[in-house]
Structures are given as structure tokens and as C-alpha cells.
Amino acid sequence: MIAPAKDPVELLRRMEQAVMERAPSLPEETQGPALWTGVGFRLGDLHLVTPLGHITEVLPCPPVTPVPGTVSWVKGIANVRGTLLTIVDLAGYFGKEAVFDEERSRVLVMNLEALNTGLLVSEVFGLRHFDEGSERRDGVALDDQVAPHLQGVFLRDDVLWGVFDMHSLAGSGTFMHVAA
């Protein structure tokens, strides 16, 4: 019990001190695991994830105009809000079964200066968060054709997610040479 005081300010100080002494302490702040975030997508039966900074947007496949004299994996060009965007079938580029404009297929627009390219993929899963401690860098390759463009692999719920590097893809000579 707080002893009576004649000065009201002193009484308030004593009450504050008594409350502070009996108050439970705040929980200790702990640091959670470092999370890595990217955009997850499917390419045929492969699960891949790319860093957020490697793409500018995800959109349904817009109407595409074929470009004569290009390789089969270049679907053509599309007008997206006044900008011409080259649409590339990423599975076709890797020699896999082509991706068709279906309900789940999407275009990942690459975030690269002077390269207006969208990659047609089978499906986009949205943001995926991984504990960096669970990243595997032991050389496990998901696929021979895709492996040169992987920066590592995450394992989540028995699914391997390859970390796909869009910049590596864009730097590839075969990707930039589209003439048939």
C-alpha cells in the first residue's frame, strides 16, 4: 500500500513507482529467421522462384502478333499499355513442351533495361517466402537445360524450388539470338 502524501505530485510519483515495480516486463525481442522472398512459378513440372527485383509484373497472356523469321519459342510481340513486349515461351526455349495460353498460364515481364520481354510460364504461384537457412546450394539440379540459370535450390514440403536468375537468362547468347 502506498503511504499517504500531502503533496499530490509526490503521491502520483509513488503510485507510478509502485505500478512499475509490479508490472510484468515486456517479452524479450528475438530475431526470427531471415526470409528470402520471390515469385514462384511453374514451368511444366518444374517449380521455380525468381527474385522480386527480376520482374516488373505478372499478367495474363495478351493478344500476340507472330513475328516471321524468328525461332519457334518466340511467340511474337504484344502491345501492353503502349509498349511492345516480346513474348517468349520459356518452356519452348528450354526444349520442353510449349506453354499455351491457358487459364493458369501467365507472362512474367522481365525487369531489365532495354529488354522488353515477357516470359510465358505454365502457372504463377505468387509470392513465396523461404527460410534462408533451408536453402540448398549442394549442386542439386532440377533440370539439365535450366540448371545454368539457377542460383540455388530451396526445399519446402518435399518440393524443390530452383532459384531462377532472369539476368543470367538475358545474358545468354542463345536467348538474345531469335532469328531463325
Residue 65 reports pLDDT greater than 60: yes
Q: Which range among 3-12, 27-36, 95-104, 159-168 has the greatest average pLDDT?
A: 159-168
pLDDT in tens, 103-127: 899 999 999 888 899 999 999 999 9
- pLDDT for res 179: 86
Residue 3 reports pLDDT greater than 80: no
CA distances from 8 to 1, 5, 12, 76, 82 (A): 16, 7, 6, 81, 72
pTM: 0.79
Q: Pick the range with the lowest mean pLDDT from 30-39, 43-52, 131-140, 168-177.
A: 131-140
Split at pLDDT 50, 70, 90, the class of 27 is: confident
Q: What average pLDDT does this structure show over 38-58?
A: 94
pLDDT averaged over every residue in the chain:
87
pLDDT in tens, 81-107: 999 999 999 999 999 988 887 889 999
| Percentage of the chain modeled with pLDDT above 70 | 91
Using CA atoms, how far apart are residues 55 and 49, in angstroms rounded to an integer?
Answer: 11
In the chain, the domains with their CATH numbers are 35-176 (2.40.50.180)
Q: What average pLDDT does this structure show over 55-80?
A: 95
Q: What average pLDDT does this structure show over 18-47?
A: 84
Residue 138 reports pLDDT greater than 80: no
Residue 28 reports pLDDT greater than 80: no
- pLDDT for res 86: 95
